[in-house]
Amino acid sequence: MKHVSKKAPRKRASRQLFYIVVGFALGLAGLTGLVYAVMPGRANLGSPEIGGSFSMIAQDGRVVTNADLAGRPYLVFFGYTHCPDFCPTALFNISAVFRELGPDKRVAALFVTVDPERDTPDILKTYLENFDSRIIGLTGDPSKTEAIAKAFRVYAKTVPGEKSGDYTVDHTGVVYLMDKRGKFVSAFNLSRPPLQAARELEAYL
């Protein structure tokens, strides 16, 4: 009788597992590269494709344009006051970064609503009282809201809720860093410690 080694099936199984692991690693690396390729980065420095002129209404009722931000760096974040968790977390993190900079630093952040129907100036004012005073809430009619979202290449889509008239808004979660000239620098990372993020922002003062 011919002897069959029990090690052979184990070797084949080990090779198969190795190929699966390698294939998964290569796929993950490719996906990571794709994410970085499509994310706004410093290669887009000064790109006219992100940002531009706008005219919106702030939470205090005044008209705010891009010219009003000239001479200071600022962040731009799109969201809405009914956002359950992502938006308030981002605004909280921006406030923490601004606190690290100190109250005297000339910086700003724009919180642009993607839900102008519900987010009136008064609603934005009440909502933003919970965050740093240098965060400016912006709203406007649907056409102006659509225009500024398009300028920043922001995706926003209304999703009907279970109850009649209720809805949420799916939207882009990128925080944009703009320089003193209103030119796009890069996506601003809020997942790091506030002091580290503040040091980057301070470099553009």
What does the pLDDT look like over 103-146, one tens digit per residue? 999 999 999 999 999 999 999 999 999 999 999 999 999 999 99
Whole-prediction pTM = 0.78
Using alpha carbons only, give the angle 100, 174, 176 rounded to the nearest 5 degrees: 60
- Cβ pair 115, 80 in contact under 8 A: yes
Q: Which residues contact 139 (CB under 8 A, 6 or more apart)?
A: 56, 57, 112, 113, 116, 119, 120, 121, 124, 145
pLDDT digit string, tens, across residues 148-169: 999 999 999 999 999 888 999 9
For residue 47, the one-letter residue type is S
